[in-house]
Amino acid sequence: MVDGYFSFNQGDLKGDLKKVERTSPTLGLAAPAGATTLFDGSSVDAWNPGKLEASELMGVGTRTKEKFDSFTLHLEFRTPFMPYATGQARGNSGMYLQDQYECQVLDSFGLEGLDNECGGIYKNARPLVNMCLPPLTWQTYDVEFTGAKFDAEGKVTAPAKCTIKHNGVVIHQDLELAVTPGGGQGNQQPGSLYLQDHGDPVRFRNIWIVTH
């Protein structure tokens, strides 16, 4: 095998195998007019605490200073290569919408696709399909989020909903959300975007948001 190419010829058996590098169709997507750039590698002023790592990447354990209601969000992330780790110890982080609904970030390449794996809404819903790419590959989340609605007494009249694309493929469609255990105070609105620190060196870049 040389440079991702493997060829064999044994009697009647012949074949060629080539390694395919998959990428998200929205990788590097530029912020549209009217968007707020949350992180482009040049500044962490939008975050508390701002965690600028080497190579102009965002570290984990930080949330936006600004709070949001309904929005369109683009975010890119990269999980580390941790060959001796398994399960939740393998590149674990999370994208918390409004600081209370967690979409998992994890190295779940080749796994079943559960609610606690990459793309899952923790304790709420598994992804429609496991779209996780291998570790060290940049991946994308594209989110359409609608905040919960309340009446004059503060009771929920409509739950929060989201549609999420992972690497360009819909993994949640108009999903009604329940607050992630340990996330926020329950239907607080608006809320921050939080990038969870689970002790692993997950990195983020190209994060922007359009509010509705």
List, for residues 135-182, the tens digit of each pLDDT value. Answer: 999 999 999 999 999 888 888 899 999 999 999 999 999 999 988 876
Compute the distance between CA of residue 174 and CA of residue 81 in angstroms, rounded to an integer: 32
pLDDT-wise least confident of 3-17, 19-33, 124-138: 3-17
**Which residues is 75 bridged to in the sheet?**
141
* Contacts of 109 by beta carbon, 8 Å cutoff, 6+ apart: 132, 133, 134, 135
Q: What share of the chain is helix, strand, coil (3-state, %, to 5)?
A: 5, 40, 55
Average pLDDT, the chain: 91
Q: Is the dihedral of CA 77, 48, 96, 85 positive or negative?
A: positive
The confidence score (pLDDT) of residue 182 equals 65
What average pLDDT does range 89-100 have in this prediction? Answer: 96
Residue type, 151: D
Compute the distance between CA of residue 15 and CA of residue 172 in angstroms, rounded to an integer: 38
112: left (phi over 0), alpha (psi -120 to 50) or beta: alpha
Domains of the chain: 22-211 (2.60.120.560)
Compute the distance between CA of residue 91 and CA of residue 168 in angstroms, rounded to an integer: 21
Is the pLDDT assigned to residue 185 strictly greater than 60?
no
Compute the distance between CA of residue 136 and CA of residue 81 in angstroms, rounded to an integer: 6
The confidence score (pLDDT) of residue 4 equals 62
Is the pLDDT assigned to residue 40 strictly greater than 80?
yes
Is the pLDDT assigned to residue 186 strictly greater than 60?
no
**Which residues is 158 bridged to in the sheet?**
149
The confidence score (pLDDT) of residue 183 equals 64
Tokens standing for residue 201: 């060196």
The confidence score (pLDDT) of residue 188 equals 65
Instruction: Output DSSP code: residue 119.
Output: T
Tokens standing for residue 114: 């559960």
Q: Which helix (H) or strand (E) segment is 166 a member of?
A: strand 161-166
The confidence score (pLDDT) of residue 94 equals 97
Tokens standing for residue 150: 């309340």
What average pLDDT does range 26-37 have in this prediction? Answer: 98
Is the pLDDT assigned to residue 199 strictly greater than 70?
yes
| Model pTM score | 0.90
Q: How many CB atoms are closer than 10 A to CB 169?
A: 16
What average pLDDT does range 79-105 have in this prediction? Answer: 95
